[in-house]
Structure 1
Amino acid sequence: MKLGYCTITWGGVVGHPAGVTSVKDLFYLTHGSMDGAVKDIAAAGYQGVEMFDGNLAEYRDKPEQLHSIMAESGVSLVSVYTGANFIYADILPDELHRIQQAAELAASFGAERLIVGGGARRAAGTTDQDYHRLGEALDTVIDIAEAAGLAASYHPHLGTIVESPAELDRLMPLTRIGFCPDTAHLAAGGADPAATIRKYRDRIHHVHLKDLHKETLSFLPLGQGELDFPEIVQAIKESGYDSWLMVELDEYGGDPRAAAEISRKYLEELL
């Protein structure tokens, strides 16, 4: 398996402010330097990176800058993360327009995969139809990704209508999209990550690894929290998945590169 790292740790996650009044512009962003993040990730010993769609969009008019830093660092852009509400019919075309932009841009930089999260929770409560709308939208995301030469995966996430094991089970029969297990988000939602990986072993197209302190729901470098990574890695191996393991850490109080090094050392010993 190959090891990659997500650039989110260099600045945390925000949404583009233009998205407040223009849904088509609501990209994910992290405020850190992507040039610095890529260099740190490479120095920490990883072979690939995952970026947010909004950060990648910053290189739309200066692609040579990102190509140069990737080449100099000896890493590749593996995947791009995006997301949407997906359940509101009126804004869905604009959301899919943005996702198409992200997919095409990702492909232009050599990425292999498009990772999506989402499925909004309504103030009035989630309806059965919301899951059907989400499933249908995710099937459209597959078509968008495949047209750009990418493989698409869905990432369950806290704050969406796919947090708990029951909610994931509700969605999965309604879409043909691949599954991106995120170990910490699954555990925070009440799932056993290894058991969930085994349950959907045939759907796994991408993997996010991060550790968790369950009481505080704090994300941590691998081996620093409470998750059973020997069992998780065993479940991944049993599934037949033998590709990129992307380490992710949404935020970290210390140095992002140091956190990346902690996780790489832990993973290499485990693997």
Structure 2
Amino acid sequence: MTPLRLAYGTNGLTDLRLTDAAHLLADLGYDGIALTLDHMHLDPLAPDLAARTAKVAGLLADTGLAVTIETGARYVLDPRRKHYPTLLDPDPAARQARAGLLLTAVRVAADLGAAAVHCFSGQRPHGVPEDEAWKRLADELAPVLEASAAAGVPVAVEPEPGHLLHNLDGFHRLRTALGAPDSLALTLDIGHCQCLEPAPPADCVRAAAPWVAHVQIEDMYRGVHEHLPFGEGEIDFPPVLEALQTTGYRGLISVELPRDSHAGPELARTSLDFLRAAEAEASTRGGAR
């Protein structure tokens, strides 16, 4: 079977310059990089963003890394509130700020030849009825999806624990509300599947396969939203990787350890070793059938 394409998220390498992070990942043998738009690597609010993006394009060409664009920077829009504003904010101008970030991400992704742009819904604001929150989400995403369709880069929404859209059912609710546009895709986080979904992660992979444009991966415990290094949670990874293989997923599978930047270079090495070993075991299991 075709080897899986592994990447590492820059939100787990925030103590490194982007140039150093990219060369580290290439030297280790990664296939790609999940680039979070943030002030320390590629600032989406920089006045010279186009020039900075061009330099990143050169860096990716030099290192041979594929890229996907992440938009989960904690304080990139609001320096005092984590992940705010969201697409659900009561203030229309605040919602537009988040939508504007996504439009910027689409442009950056197109310039870099990225596979997808990641996004999330945000938490439902206190006092906002659920149906109204879903309508806000669809209304704010609609123009972003139009832009992504024109750019040829899908927007891959991530079910996030604690958010309005927190599971696969929520993804399908949004997709139906928007009329099932081709430009709307799914970011499937394997740890989140373990945390919240009723089915095992491998079954989630198979169920979500037609819509997945990006995969994030880490270890996790059921019911506890904490991204853990591999081997520190309870996920059985060979079946997950086998499911990704057999469903034909060819996008990036990005290690997502945003709370472990202090150990980022070492975790990048051990994570790759762990996933390649799990992939080999998955191939052995598949061949035995």
Q: TM-score, with normalisation over the residues of structure 1?
A: 0.80
Q: Secondary structure at the match of 2:227?
A: strand
Q: Distance in 2 between matches of 1:35 and 1:197?
A: 33
Superposed CA offset, 1:177-217 (max 9, x none): 21111011232235432232222221112111111144764
Residues 164 and 245 of structure 1: is their aligned pair in 2 closer, same or farther, counting only changes over 3 Å?
closer
C-alpha distance 232-139 of structure 1, shift in aligned 2 (>3 A): farther
- Equivalent residue number for residue 112 of structure 1: 115
Q: Which amino acid aligns with 1:103?
A: V
CA contact (8 A) 1:208 1:246 kept: yes
2:177 corresponding residue in structure 1? 174
Written as runs of structure 1 = structure 2, the 5 A alignment for 1:218-257 is: 218-252=226-260, 255-257=263-265
Deviations 1:109-143 (A, max 9, x none): 23231111123321225512212332343343322
Equivalent residue in structure 1 for 2:211, among 178, 198, 203:
203
Residue 186 (structure 1) aligned with residue 193 (structure 2): yes
What secondary structure sits across from 1:180 in the alignment? strand
Percent of pairs identical after alignment?
23
User: Where in structure 2 are the equivalents of 1:3-14 lying within 5 Å?
Assistant: 3-11=6-14
With the length of structure 2 as denominator, give the TM-score of the two structures: 0.75
For residue 207 of structure 1, give the secondary structure of its aligned residue in structure 2. strand
The more displaced of 213-222 and 34-43 is 213-222
> 75, 78, 81: which one pairs with 2:70?
81
Question: Kindly tell me: are residues 243 and 215 of structure 1, through their superposed partners in 2, closer, same or farther at Cα, counting changes over 3 Å?
Answer: closer
**Cα distance change of structure 1 residues 2 and 136 upon mapping to structure 2, 3 Å threshold:** same
* Counterpart pick for 2:274 among 233, 258, 266: 266
Contact kept in structure 2, 1:155 and 1:182, CA below 8 Å: yes
What runs of 5+ residues in structure 1 fail to find an aligned partner?
Answer: 12-30
* Greater CA drift, 141-150 or 169-178: 169-178
Gapped regions of structure 2 (runs ≥ 5): 73-84, 280-289
Contact 2:88 2:125 in 1 (8 A): no
| Matching residue's letter, 1:121 | R
- On the 8 A contact 1:82/1:116 being kept in 2, the answer is yes
Tell me the distance in 1 between the aligned counterparts of 2:201 and 2:35.
23
- RMSD of Structure 2 on Structure 1 (CA): 2.7
Give matches, 1:7-86, under 5 Å. Answer: 7-11=10-14, 32-54=16-38, 55-57=41-43, 60=49, 61-63=51-53, 65-76=55-66, 78-82=67-71, 85-86=86-87
Q: Name the amino acid aligned to 1:173.
A: T
Does 2:88 match 1:98?
Answer: no
**CA–CA separation in structure 1 for the residues paired with 2:88 and 2:173:** 15
